[in-house]
């Protein structure tokens, strides 16, 4: 009898896990990184515009537009590391632990 109950519980858990994971795992269309061939094809399309891009970038830098300078610096020197200032209020707990004691609920 105990073995039958264990089997039923196990089967119910397996069914619940399968229902919970629907749509999350496995292969999905258009998921993941694009194929190397697609990247190369895009580079081939953009290559003829490289001279135009550099000319527009140069004109923007000469005008003093900071967006062009920012774009140039990000690609040439790399984007600077972002820092975040996190302040914790000591009066407020980060989490609350609730213990349900069955003996005290009677």
- Condensed to tens digits (0 to 9), the pLDDT of residues 5-34 reads 566 566 655 555 555 445 566 777 777 777
Domain spans, the chain: 49-77
Q: Which long-range contacts (CB under 8 A, 24 or more apart) does 22-30 make?
A: none
- Widest distance between CA atoms in the chain: 84
pLDDT at 36: 84
pLDDT per residue over 49-82, tens digit each?
Answer: 888 888 888 898 899 888 888 888 888 888 888 8
Q: What is the DSSP letter of 79?
A: P
- The confidence score (pLDDT) of residue 73 equals 83
Q: At a CB cut-off of 8 Å and minimum separation 6, what does 94 contact?
A: 88
Q: Is the pTM of this model over 0.85?
A: no
């Amino acid at each position: 009898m105990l073995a039958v109950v264990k089997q039923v519980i196990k089967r119910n858990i397996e069914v619940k896990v399968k229902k919970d994971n629907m749509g999350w795992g496995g292969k999905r269309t258009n998921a993941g990184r694009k194929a190397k061939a697609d990247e190369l094809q895009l580079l081939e399309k953009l290559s003829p515009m490289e001279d135009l891009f550099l000319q527009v970038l140069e004109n923007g830098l000469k005008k003093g537009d900071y967006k062009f300078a920012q774009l140039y610096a990000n690609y040439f020197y790399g984007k600077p590391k972002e820092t975040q200032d996190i302040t914790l209020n000591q009066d407020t707990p980060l989490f609350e632990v609730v213990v349900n004691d069955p003996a005290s609920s009677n």
